[in-house]
Amino acid sequence: MSIGRLDEDSEGLLLLTTNGKVSFDLLSKKFEKEYYVQVDGIITAEAVEQMQNGLRINIQGTPYTTKNCKAHLIEIPNFPDRGRPIRDERHGPTSWVSITLREGKFRQVRKMTAAVGFPTLRLVRVRIGEHHLGDMQPGEVVEVDELIEDLS
């Protein structure tokens, strides 16, 4: 079973396990999930602060206030090109932000960036707990035995 999900438009780290306890624990609020997000436009410090302090968004039609999170501007990460291009610089500038949550509601990160006026163009999960995407390439699989030990 997968630990968490990535929608069709998202990329990045996906952990798989046959241990239900590991899956449940990693999905809980005990572990951080970090995303690198490319947004439309040059995101402002005020927008980043709004995301850090919690926002009012809708999750499947229900109003929801996000919990405080970690967010900060980052340099352009060195990711492989996407199979489907998002757009090019003729459409205006973009910027990147790191967002770290302990929750993960339906399309929450995308809704957060849109709520502050900077829609998500590319979303890459780079970390779950202490497990990092690192230099892995799309489709690459790495066996990790330490998951169960990490939860002890």
**CATH code assigned at 62:** 3.30.70.1560
Helix then strand then coil, % of the chain, to nearest 5: 20, 30, 50
Q: What is the pLDDT of residues 6-25, one digit of tens each?
A: 888 889 998 888 888 877 77
**pTM across the whole model:** 0.88
**Which one, of 28, 8, 29, 111, lies nearest residue 62 by Cα?**
111
Give the span between the Cα atoms of 58 and 107, in whole angstroms: 10
> Looking at the domain assignment, is residue 45 inside a domain?
yes
Q: At which residue do the structure tokens 């609020």 appear?
A: 29
- 7, 88, 135, 145: the catalytic one is 7
Active-site residue 7, yes or no?
Answer: yes
Looking at residue 127, its amino acid is R
> Looking at the domain assignment, is residue 150 inside a domain?
no
> Looking at the domain assignment, is residue 18 inside a domain?
yes
> Looking at the domain assignment, is residue 151 inside a domain?
no
40: which strand partners?
94
How many domains is the chain partitioned into structurally? 1
Q: What is the pLDDT of residues 96-152, one digit of tens each?
A: 999 999 987 888 999 999 999 999 999 999 998 888 898 888 888 888 765 544 444
Q: Which domain holds residue 104?
A: 2-145
